[in-house]
Amino acid sequence: MSTLPGNAGVSVLGDKSLEFYREPVCFCLQRIEKHRSRVFQSRLLNRPTAFICSVQGVRELLCEKSGVFLKDPTDLMTNMYGDNIVTTNGEEACLLRLSLTSLFTGACLESWNDYITSVCERCLKDLSVSGQPECVYSVFKALGTELVLGLFLNVRPEEQPELYQEITQLCTQHWHGLISAPVSVKVPMWSSGFCTALEARDKLMDIIRDRLDTDTQGFVGSLASLPLPDSSSASQHLLLFISALIPKALASLLTSFTLALSGNEQEETRRRARLDPDFLHSVLLEVQRLWPPFIGGRRIASQDTSLAGFHVPKGHAAMYISHSVHRDPEVFQQPDDFLPERWSGRNAGQEHLLCSFGGGPRNCIGVKLTDVFIK
């Protein structure tokens, strides 16, 4: 078995990990070219890491070898979000997924349709009439926030404007903790971003616990009655679900969709997407292929193993980069071109090869809900 091309001593993100998306994507483009391989080694978060930029590699990582490559319980996320499904492994993760998935499928999902439609109509109606230039990302992020807080916390801006405003601000401060150096410093008149984020998290947890104690309706009520492993599990997961990550990801997809379909030359694509739900589906697949909202995901090898034929020692990390995986020319011809037709032609039935929502047994549990939101 060969060793991975690359240098395990080179640091990729270092202190500038704040440039969350652009840096790793550019880094991968350069390394793929340099090593002439879509799987290579470098160093990330102080650990030798196999970077996976091929469809075959990501299938192996997330599906075939999901029992070997595990989530990292010391992930940066744990600082900000505490213990939750994202960083657990084994039986605990299986049980959590079983319980939580029931809230995002079937009757639960259907019961949200009317609410989602009414919020979308209200938030988007002004876009078409104002005639003024608008930053659509901000409009979509506000829409995503309203959907998430309304569905998961029963807090709606028209009913409780002050509480809604307070939670929105706290969610933003909390999110900034994920992209700031993990140093908690507070002196008179100044707090580090990380410290402010921890304080925001504590305030959010107080609000969440209060909702769980007093509200028996909707998602909060259903979550409170789930058989979860311990008493803090419901609140920790609500903190995850209302996090700014989800409105940001929704806004990213909707903005990419808007940009991809804008301009006179896309008039026919817009017309077809409006009339034909299958074509709209293909357009949305192509949007998430070219512009996946999240970088990807990271795992740790629990034993000596291999990935795409390369040796990966126990304790090394593996990180898949969706943007690069989705441009693997082995699977996607003309990988950089926006071609929705590929999903009814050469790539028909290959949606599962995308990894914008992860893949395998630890894929995203919100994928169906996101589909409803987006459509």
Interacting residue ranges for ligand HEM, rule: CB under 6 A: 85-86, 93, 97, 241, 246, 249-250, 253, 293-294, 297, 356-358, 362, 364-366, 369-370
Cβ nearer to ligand HEM, comparing 99 with 196? 99
DSSP string, 175-235: HHGGGS-S---EETTEE-HHHHHHHHHHHHHHHHHHHHHH--SHHHHHHHTS--SSTTHHH
CA angle 350, 355, 356 (to 5 degrees): 115
Cβ nearer to ligand HEM, comparing 5 with 360? 360
Cβ nearer to ligand HEM, comparing 193 with 294? 294
Residue 78 Cβ vs ligand HEM, minimum distance, rounded to whole Å: 13
Of all residues in the shown chain, the one whose CB is closest to ligand HEM is: 366
Cβ nearer to ligand HEM, comparing 254 with 339? 254
- Helix (H, G, I), strand (E, B), or coil: what is residue 262? coil
Cβ nearer to ligand HEM, comparing 39 with 193? 39
Residue 84 Cβ vs ligand HEM, minimum distance, rounded to whole Å: 7
Cβ nearer to ligand HEM, comparing 97 with 176? 97
Residue 259 Cβ vs ligand HEM, minimum distance, rounded to whole Å: 16
Cβ nearer to ligand HEM, comparing 18 with 94? 94
Residue 167 Cβ vs ligand HEM, minimum distance, rounded to whole Å: 16
Strand 190-191 vs strand 186-187: parallel, antiparallel, or unpaired? antiparallel
- Helix (H, G, I), strand (E, B), or coil: what is residue 10? strand
Helix axes of 245-260 and 277-290: crossing angle, nearest 10 degrees: 110
Contacting residues for 128 by C-beta, under 8 A, at least 6 apart:
none
Residue 311 Cβ vs ligand HEM, minimum distance, rounded to whole Å: 22
CA angle 21, 16, 308 (to 5 degrees): 55
- Residue type (1 letter), 300: I
Residue 87 Cβ vs ligand HEM, minimum distance, rounded to whole Å: 8
What DSSP state is assigned to residue 323? H
Helix axes of 367-374 and 245-260: crossing angle, nearest 10 degrees: 50
In the chain, beta strands by DSSP E: 2-3, 6-11, 39-44, 47-52, 69-70, 186-187, 190-191, 296-301, 305-307, 310-312, 317-321
Residue 81 Cβ vs ligand HEM, minimum distance, rounded to whole Å: 10
